[in-house]
């Protein structure tokens, strides 16, 4: 077999390896086109945060201005909604990070009864459509007569984020070299100290990544939040409410700022990950 290929090779490709191929890399242009397509509404949003819109509708360009940035908190309801969103997102990141991290660690490390059931439940929680999750939670809160509001939103957000964090952490755990922890234990460290000083720092990038996922999922969530928000407004909910009468430029400003912070966090995470190797 090898003999035939060796003979066949020179016949089909003589000096191709040495001559630089001048083929158009369609893939590259296509990928860049897709990326541009994905980012175009973002560019639109950022551009129109500088639009000197006169009326209530911020869709035609009327001139450059910075005063929306100065006037960001002109709408107290919008500010309150943004604060709610940020607060919920941070709390979700912390709680889902903790729960999901522990779950991921256990799934990657230990054998225990109910592992396949856990896999099934996690898989279902991730793939279940938001409408179903939201409807389910609302149904449960109705039958138990629990008032919907801030805390029910938080409960819902943690619920759908936990699985994402767990999967991220598990992937990392499975790739960890147990030698380091064994070494620590050989040197006499207790399991808790080993965990604190060796395991946790090694898991940190995965926890950060998972936490970031949880943050983004939470701050962006619209459908599930609609079902369980009660009296509380979050940022996406407020924006949705304004589609009836016109979305003010302050929304674009806040969107731009959140985007900028998100980009910063992602870049920092990437740099840290590379440094840890």
Binders of other proteins in range 64-123 (CB under 8 A): 77, 98-100, 102-103, 105-119, 121-123
DSSP-derived secondary structure for 167-208: HHHHHHHHHS-HHHHHHHHHTT--HHHHIIIIIHHHHHHHHH
Q: Are 196 and 103 in contact (CB under 8 A)?
A: no
Which listed residue (14, 16, 54, 180) binds other proteins by CB under 8 A? 54
Nearer to other proteins, 64 or 192 (CB): 192
Which listed residue (86, 90, 176, 202) binds other proteins by CB under 8 A? 176
Question: At its nearest, how many Å lie between other proteins and the CB of residue 204?
Answer: 17
Question: At its nearest, how many Å lie between other proteins and the CB of residue 42?
Answer: 5
Which listed residue (190, 196, 197, 268) binds other proteins by CB under 8 A? 190
- List, in order, residues 6 or more apart from 55 with CB less than 8 Å away: 246
Which listed residue (14, 16, 30, 66) binds other proteins by CB under 8 A? 30
Distance CA 232, CA 149 (A): 5
Which listed residue (81, 203, 206, 239) binds other proteins by CB under 8 A? 239
Distance CA 192, CA 205 (A): 20
Q: Are 261 and 269 in contact (CB under 8 A)?
A: no
Total interface residues for other proteins by CB under 8 A: 123
């Amino acid at each position: 077999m090898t003999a035939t290929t060796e003979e066949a090779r020179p016949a089909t490709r003589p000096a191709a390896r040495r001559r630089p191929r001048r083929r158009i890399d369609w893939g590259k242009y296509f990928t860049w086109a897709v990326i541009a397509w994905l980012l175009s509404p973002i560019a639109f949003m950022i551009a129109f945060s500088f639009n000197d819109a006169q009326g209530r509708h911020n869709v035609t360009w009327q001139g450059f201005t910075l005063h929306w940035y100065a006037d960001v908190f002109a709408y107290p309801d919008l500010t309150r909604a943004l604060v709610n969103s940020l607060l919920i997102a941070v709390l979700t990141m912390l709680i889902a990070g903790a729960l999901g991290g522990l779950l991921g660690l256990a799934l990657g490390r230990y054998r225990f009864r109910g592992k396949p059931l856990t896999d099934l439940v996690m898989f279902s929680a991730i793939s279940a459509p938001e409408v179903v999750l939201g409807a389910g939670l609302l149904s449960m809160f109705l039958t138990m007569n629990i008032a919907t509001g801030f805390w029910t939103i938080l409960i819902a957000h943690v619920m759908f984020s936990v699985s994402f964090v767990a999967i991220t952490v598990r992937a990392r755990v499975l790739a960890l070299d147990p030698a380091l922890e064994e070494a620590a234990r050989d040197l006499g460290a207790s399991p808790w100290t080993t965990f604190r000083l060796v395991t946790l720092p090694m898991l940190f990038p995965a926890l950060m990544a998972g936490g970031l996922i949880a943050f983004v999922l939470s701050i962006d969530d619209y459908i599930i939040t609609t079902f369980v928000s009660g009296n509380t407004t979050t940022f996406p909910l407020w924006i949705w409410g304004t589609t009836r009468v016109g979305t003010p430029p302050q929304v674009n400003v806040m969107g731009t700022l959140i985007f900028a912070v998100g980009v910063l966090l992602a870049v920092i995470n990437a740099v840290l990950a590379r440094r840890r190797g």
